[in-house]
Structure 1
Amino acid sequence: MKSSPHRHTAAVINLENIAENINRVRGHLPGQPELWAVVKANAYGHGAVRVARHIHDMVEGFCVSNLDEALELRQHLITQPLLVLSGIVPANVDLARANGISLTCPSLEWLELIIEEHQDLTGLKVHVKVDSGMGRIGMRSADEVNQVIRLLDQEGMQFEGLFTHFATADEANPDKFEQQRQTFDNLVSQLERRPRYIHSTNSAAALWHSEQVGDIERLGIGMYGLNPSGEAIELPYELKPALSLVSELTHVSKIPKGETVGYGATYELAEDSYVGTVSIGYADGWTRDMQGFYVLVNGKKAEIIGRVSMDQMTIKLDKDYKIGTPVTLIGRDGDEEITAQDIANWRKTIAYEVVCLLSDRIYRKYIG
């Protein structure tokens, strides 16, 4: 999908806020762990290449979700270590090795497949994934992990790291977190040898379980200034949101009482009203269920009326406004503010999804 810089709508990314969030998290971590920035999913909608370039020398490495994300960073001269957090297609392992990209080994079977498909794997850097209770990918026994370590050594690969992922580090109840932590620590104690890196913590763990941080802190959503728990747990220190979403009125008309607005005629005007059109829709990640929510115009709330269309939506205005009047969808206007969490609450989801859904069609404008 092509970015549209000539359109009315843009996501404004404050790179300095991202940098400040990194410094705040680092300042609260015990010891001196390496900090690897998670820039998967286009840096949670913030723009992976621009974010990585800005913070390149502030972190010790980057984490992505797949090989293509890693290759994009290498093509844009990101030279720091890169870790792909998921297992990749075995046939593509040579691409990772050639570009100095560390891979995740999710299972003994996966490792056997790449050994079967490739004659020379010397130097390939591997982080072994442990499933400590997430139930997604990874190995659940020390015996299997030790078999993997022996195979890595036998084939000349680098056993660079071992890691897990906590399912409930962002929840107030610590029981599941403690269960996973103990499972992981117990498996680590049975390793035949230790790799360079043992790591387990994401943003939530860094914020509320910093004593668990190992050799690497994988900093994701917190880097972008969003609370991993939503509103379940208060942040221990301030983080600054890096993304705002802005547009402008592209059309304003006065529509009589009793007329309907939008597909399906789902909204009927109870009085003569000024209705404004905004250039954003579900193809941009501004989903249809936003009907009934609001945006900010001139520091006031303006209800989203009618169904959100693919490319446009309509809002009810308090008066006649000129075309080009600014519209705030995420961010502050005067005394009013809309956060990604506010939108998540409306959609009954999480802020991660709100920002990740913002499509590439929305132009990213960078400041700082």
Structure 2
Amino acid sequence: MMTSYRPTRMSISRSAIVQNIQNIKRYYEEQNRPIRHFFAVVKANGYGHGMEEVVRASESEVNYFAVATVDEALRLRKMTKLPILVLGPSPVESIPEAVTHQITLTVPSVEWLVEAENQYPREPLILHMKLNTGMNRIGLQTGEEIERAFQLLRNTAYEIEGVFTHFARADEEERSWTDEQVRIFEELLQYFPERPSIVHVSNSAATLRFPEYVYDGVRYGISLYGLPPSPYVETILPIRLIKAMTLTTEVAKITKVPSQSQISYGGTYETKKLEYVATLPIGYADGLRRQLTGQQVIIKGSKYPIIGTICMDQCMILVNENISVGEIVTLIGIDKGEEISVNDWSNSLNTINYEVCTSFSARISRELSQ
């Protein structure tokens, strides 16, 4: 962790991440479906929690990491010796570096393989082939494309270690779409000359809901961090998820503001009487979106609202005379039995917890706690 003189900090619980992994592993063992390959998905800076902190917490519990880009994989390689899978499409020009740093790439299309075979056929590249079964984002989607891909692979030194797909609606109550994606996946697998050693389909939602789709492993993303993939999945969780993130700052200033005074840009809040206003060193450049005006924070076990327009680097909250400069302010987490969660923020913003977490900027200092 870099040195930070700013009191706005994110604490990531090592024990929460470890328990989230162990709990789902134990559940699968109880179902007689042990997880052979556990992919910890740490893309987007560990879903905003801090890649380095998450890797340090989870490395001893998993046997594969997954990210979205080659750049993320190269950063991650400095932190771990475990295998790394790039889930998204990668520029063909990155193949030599991927080989040098033992990074596994995804085959997103036949066209990508044609270009790779033309430019770097002799590189000993490890690949996972993506099959498009309904997400319609990347991946091979017909038997003819798979047969063409394996024809191209004969002219290379590449190894197809794995094959996977991605579910579009596994977090919804109706499961028929997910079952249909599995049916298509199974159909496409018949075109492989031999089954790859790692077959994986389950994201967090499917991992929590469908043990029968474990195949050779699961890709655990949002729930690695103790968060449910959707409100519906939260109602049927088979295990306990433990939130890993706590976000805090400190009161920087207390101002006694006379009645009928305006607060912050645009004067969107006006005092009704003599009021105590605390300034906090966190703003929308940190991920505290402007639409979160009205969202509460916790100080000494009591909740106080954010008032006025949230600024780039600071915001203001309405407090009372009992609050002092230097008091710890919890924006996400638990303090004296009171809690504010990532889901509280996502509900206020009419979005999903994924977006809230990945919006936290790099200038928030992350630290790994027990």
Fold similarity call, TM over 0.5:
yes
Q: Spell out the pairing of 1:260-275 with structure 2 (5 A cutoff).
A: 260-275=262-277
Structure 2 counterpart of 1:242: 244
Structure 2 counterpart of 1:10: 9
> Using the alignment, how far apart are the partners of 1:295 and 1:65 within structure 2?
33
> Using the alignment, how far apart are the partners of 1:14 and 1:202 within structure 2?
22
4+ runs deviating over 6 angstroms: none
| Cα displacement (A) at 1:232 | 5.2
The DSSP-based 3-state class of the residue aligned with 2:252 is strand
Q: Which amino acid aligns with 2:26?
A: G
> Using the alignment, how far apart are the partners of 2:57 and 2:113 within structure 1?
35
Contact kept? 1:4, 1:361, Cα under 8 Å: no
User: Any stretches of 5+ residues in structure 1 without a counterpart?
Assistant: none
Identity %: 38
> Using the alignment, how far apart are the partners of 1:178 and 1:48 within structure 2?
32
Structure 1 counterpart of 2:323: 321
Structure 1 counterpart of 2:341: 339
Contact kept? 1:169, 1:209, Cα under 8 Å: no
Structure 2 counterpart of 1:86: 88
Contact kept? 2:223, 2:229, Cα under 8 Å: yes
Contact kept? 1:170, 1:233, Cα under 8 Å: no
Q: For residues 7-33 of structure 1, give each alpha carbon's deviation from its aligned partner in whole angstroms, at most 9, with x where no partner exists.
A: 011001101110111000111122342
TM-score under structure 2 length normalisation: 0.95
Structure 2 counterpart of 1:207: 208
Q: Which amino acid aligns with 2:34?
A: G
Instruction: Call closer, same or farther: CA 1:225–1:294 in 2, change over 3 Å.
Output: same
The DSSP-based 3-state class of the residue aligned with 2:60 is coil
Contact kept? 1:230, 1:350, Cα under 8 Å: no
Contact kept? 2:263, 2:269, Cα under 8 Å: yes
Q: For residues 243-284 of structure 1, give each alpha carbon's deviation from its aligned partner in whole angstroms, at most 9, with x where no partner exists.
A: 010011000011111111111111111222100001100110
| Cα displacement (A) at 1:151 | 1.6
Q: For residues 212-257 of structure 1, give each alpha carbon's deviation from its aligned partner in whole angstroms, at most 9, with x where no partner exists.
A: 1111211111111001113554222211100010011000011111
Q: Higher mean Cα deviation, 170-179 or 160-169? A: 170-179
| Cα displacement (A) at 1:3 | 5.8
Instruction: Call closer, same or farther: CA 1:209–1:252 in 2, change over 3 Å.
Output: same
Q: Which amino acid aligns with 1:288?
A: R
Q: Spell out the pairing of 1:288-299 with structure 2 (5 A cutoff).
A: 288-299=290-301
Structure 2 counterpart of 1:104: 106
Q: For residues 98-151 of structure 1, give each alpha carbon's deviation from its aligned partner in whole angstroms, at most 9, with x where no partner exists.
A: 111110010000111122222522x20011111111111111112201221232
> Using the alignment, how far apart are the partners of 1:278 and 1:142 within structure 2?
57
Matched length: 365
Structure 2 counterpart of 1:57: 60
Structure 1 counterpart of 2:177: 176
Instruction: Call closer, same or farther: CA 1:315–1:19 in 2, change over 3 Å.
Output: same
Contact kept? 1:171, 1:233, Cα under 8 Å: no
Structure 1 counterpart of 2:369: 367
Instruction: Call closer, same or farther: CA 1:249–1:143 in 2, change over 3 Å.
Output: same
User: Any stretches of 5+ residues in structure 2 without a counterpart?
Assistant: none
Contact kept? 2:172, 2:232, Cα under 8 Å: no
Contact kept? 1:36, 1:62, Cα under 8 Å: yes
> Using the alignment, how far apart are the partners of 1:279 and 1:145 within structure 2?
54
Structure 2 counterpart of 1:46: 49
